[in-house]
Amino acid sequence: MRIGLYPGTFDPITFGHMDIIRRGMGLVDRLVIGVAINRDKGPLFSLEERVELIERECAGLMRESDTEIVVHPFENLLIDCARDVGAQVILRGLRAVADFEYEFQMVGMNRKLDDSIETVFMMADAEHQAIASKLVKEIARLGGEVGKFVPASVQQALLQKFS
């Protein structure tokens, strides 16, 4: 059974993340979405809120596919999380050059920690290239329209946070 781990902060989940999840589902039998607690990043949404939004949006995706999705919060090392869930591959999305530098370094370190776990990158779809959780939060905070970047449930949650 092919198990993939797609880790991130998902603060909050966007159409960009969902595109990677949808495409990742075509590569593995089980896709574990690893939600990093990331207290240092000072997330806007609590871990429980982020997990709930991901689960809600993934329910629809699961109905369209045989691939199982599991949402798994983690606070330990990424490579240990991958071992815990039995993943052979880590999936990451790549947007612009800005993502590359950091990802390149991460892969290098992770390979040193465990070279049996492969990291696979998927290029962001042109339509979702510009979407970043950070900017979505900024737009919502300033009262802008975010419906083009996030699903309705997330849009609603952002409205509540900033009302």
Using CB under 6 A, list all residues that contact ligand ADP: 8-10, 14, 16-17, 20, 92-95, 99, 124, 128, 131-133
Using alpha carbons, select from 12, 46, 40 the residue that is nearest to residue 140: 12
Cα distance between residue 97 and residue 74, in whole Å: 27
CB nearer to ligand ADP: pick between 114 and 127: 127
CB of 115 to ligand ADP, least distance (A): 20
CB nearer to ligand ADP: pick between 1 and 93: 93
Active site (catalytic) residues? 17, 41, 95, 133
Q: Quick one: three-class SS letters along 51-119?
A: HHHHHHHHHHHHHCCCCEEEEEEECCCHHHHHHHHCCCEEEEEECCHHHHHHHHHHHHHHHHHCCCCEE
Q: In this structure, what token pair is assigned to residue 86?
A: 């039995």
Quick one: residue 74, left, alpha or beta (phi over 0 = left, psi -120 to 50 = alpha)?
beta
CB of 139 to ligand ADP, least distance (A): 14
CB of 121 to ligand ADP, least distance (A): 8
Residue nearest to ligand ADP (CB): 16
CB nearer to ligand ADP: pick between 4 and 8: 8
